[in-house]
Structure 1
């Protein structure tokens, strides 16, 4: 391999690594402008008061296992939406926490739904779910089009993982733009679950 070819390859590899690092990990707090009525808590979880919440967009389509899913069918339940990718190390770290909380709270009216994004192959997403023991459904959104349906400022499209909690009326009550431990995930869900 020539010196020039090595330099081009090294540059391309560095650019790809930088892009991957910028798109996965602790995404901070910003959703990218827009007025979403979120108030940032000291724990990094943003919440919106009841009566000031934006409606969730249409989240329907094929799941990673090829079934049809419409999140609107879960109206009346608290819905936890987690944006993830199989390529994302923090997603792998938080997946067991999400599955545990899903198993614990399912009988209390909490439904989890994943949105798999930027996986170029559905097989990668399926392998991730199997490896991590994830049993709740995930919509397959390889190009991120579904994420663009959210009101500006709700999500930062470069931040994966991200998590939203919808109240029983299908409105966005809370969000986190960083990986969540089991305790922080419960802290995010519990107030919404306690609402009557």
Structure 2
């Protein structure tokens, strides 16, 4: 049976080798030069967005202001500005 010290030394050596091998600086370790190209799941590399000629309004949308307790913030507070709504849920 292997003693605990030998097993611990082996585990430490294996961990050190794994750590050092992940710090490689070869040509294939980091992208060098070139450009970044986005590739969609369908293989398309150009992003094309054709917005509608007339956009509708989203209506009234507000909620609690997380920066100022007891106040509400709404989309109307940002009239004339571009607003990005990050909508997510845990379904």
Structure showing greater relative contact order (alpha-carbon pairs closer than 8 Å, 6 or more residues apart): 1
Tell me which protein shows more strand as a share of its residues.
Answer: 1
Q: TM bucket by the smaller chain?
A: 0.3 to 0.5
Tell me which protein shows more helix as a share of its residues.
Answer: 1
TM-score by length of 2: 0.35
Higher Cα Rg, which structure: 2
